[in-house]
């Protein structure tokens, strides 16, 4: 299986890259700065580029079975457009048989109102407002323009270990937040890359 990872130098994307390589898969990573990639492997192919650049996305998507969008940002005070621009670029080059697995987050789209009280009433509308406004656009673009997709919404992320013991929820009734490790989010992404069970759905991941 050939897997492309966008945002592979840290966090969920790096964990996914490591897990896929350990399983013997071929991984192509789109990175802005190759020097930031902390691992090397015979089956790891690096493409230097930017997710907001259409040519970069076209290169990383070509010939892949699954494309995993694991983009993240620590910028909180600037207008964010990279999530939606990446999705727009992907929508123009993904073939109908290719699967896109995109990570957004709990609080995006119709999962609003299912976080903790503090998160729903302070972090989302104040601290993370710009990021989640763009994640909402990202989800809309994916749903409306890409044939095969899974949108993954993890709860509050931490750097815990890979446990493979987490909840995958599509019915959020009565759910108000939760935590999960980046390694376990990567575990779910890889499981769906190998055997997708949630195509056209937006599963939430928490412990």
Per-residue confidence (pLDDT) for residue 108, from 0 to 100: 86
CA separation for the pair 150, 159 (Å, rounded):
23
Q: What's the average model confidence in pLDDT over 37-53?
A: 96
Neighbours of 26 (CB within 10 A): 18
Per-residue confidence (pLDDT) for residue 76, from 0 to 100: 61
> Is pLDDT of 193 > 80?
yes
- pLDDT single digits (tens) 54-88: 999 999 999 999 999 999 876 665 778 999 999 99
The confidence band for 160, taking pLDDT boundaries of 50, 70 and 90, is very high
The confidence band for 118, taking pLDDT boundaries of 50, 70 and 90, is low
Our count of domains for the chain comes to 1
pTM: 0.94
Domain ranges, residue 169: 2-206
- pLDDT single digits (tens) 97-116: 999 999 998 888 888 877 76
CATH code, 81: 3.40.50.720
Q: From 149, 39, 47, 33, select the one nearest 90 (Cα to Cα).
A: 149
Helices (H), the chain: 11-22, 54-61, 82-93, 117-118, 129-145, 182-194
> Is pLDDT of 117 > 70?
no
């Amino acid at each position: 299986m050939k897997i492309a990872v966008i945002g592979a130098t840290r966090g969920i994307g790096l964990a996914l890259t490591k897990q896929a390589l350990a399983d013997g898969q071929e991984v192509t990573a789109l990175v802005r700065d190759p020097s930031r990639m902390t691992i090397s492997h015979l089956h790891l192919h690096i493409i230097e580029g930017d997710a907001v650049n259409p040519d970069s996305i076209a290169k990383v998507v070509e010939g892949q079975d699954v494309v995993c969008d694991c983009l993240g940002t620590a910028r909180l005070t600037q207008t964010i457009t990279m999530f939606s621009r990446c999705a727009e670029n992907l929508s123009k080059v993904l073939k109908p048989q290719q699967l896109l697995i995109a990570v957004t987050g709990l609080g995006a789209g119709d999962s609003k109102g299912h976080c903790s009280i503090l998160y729903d009433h302070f972090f989302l509308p104040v601290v993370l407002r710009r990021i989640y406004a763009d994640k909402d656009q990202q989800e809309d673009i994916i749903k409306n323009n890409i044939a095969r997709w899974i949108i993954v919404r993890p709860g509050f992320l931490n750097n815990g270990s890979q446990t493979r013991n987490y909840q995958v929820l599509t019915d959020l009734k009565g759910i108000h937040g939760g935590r999960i490790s980046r390694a376990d989010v990567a575990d779910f992404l890889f499981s769906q890359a190998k055997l997708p069970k949630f195509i056209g759905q937006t599963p939430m991941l928490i412990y």
